[in-house]
Amino acid sequence: MSVKRRVARDGAGEAGSGFVKGLSDLIEKLGDLAETGREMRREGVLGEGDQLKGVYGFRMKVGHGGDAVDIEPFGNVKLDKKSRQAVVHEVREPLFDVIEEKDRILVIAEMPGITTDDISVSVDGDVMNVEASRRDRKYSKEILLPKPVLRSRIKVACNNGIVEISCPLK
């Protein structure tokens, strides 16, 4: 069953069901997030079983009182600006967090199916480039670091697809 068929059968124009209900649920969640200062994450897939072709999603963080909103997309489905169509790319953009600690920057990324040996990390100035590839899984992400780090002392660890990159501060 294709995504277009699912949307058409989902009752997109009917109040209380399908797309409209999903949108109203999202708006309600946004209100809750603004009050509590939490995060929300939604994701989906295109295709079924071995025919999985696309992974998409977003994570949104909201500060207390709705002061700061940070929306981070992830996956390998992107919108083509010219055709306004969703395009599935070979390389996925992983979901990640940058945590600033006293003596280091810790980057945590979700890369299912990846091991430590599959990961390549490079730093140029304040930009970190993380790439990983294993069989049919490919990931790439460019990350802006909040402070300069010692490139020669970066350590990478991976456990069950959760990648931790420890970057000692200069």
Judged by average pLDDT, the poorest of 3-17, 84-98, 150-164 is: 3-17
pLDDT over 70 at 111, yes or no:
yes
User: Which is more confidently placed, 146 or 82?
Assistant: 146
Under 8 Å CB-to-CB from 47, ≥6 apart: which residues?
53, 54
Under 8 Å CB-to-CB from 91, ≥6 apart: which residues?
76, 138, 139, 140
| For residues 137-152, average pLDDT | 93
- Report yes or no on whether pTM surpasses 0.85: no
- Torsion over CA: 130, 92, 44, 78 (sign): positive
Residue length of the chain: 170
Helix segments in 69-117, DSSP class H: none
DSSP one-letter code for 94: P
* 3-class secondary structure, 153: helix
Q: Contact at 8 Å (CB) between 133 and 111?
A: no
The pLDDT value recorded for residue 50 is 59
The pLDDT value recorded for residue 128 is 96
The position carrying tokens 């390998």 is 76
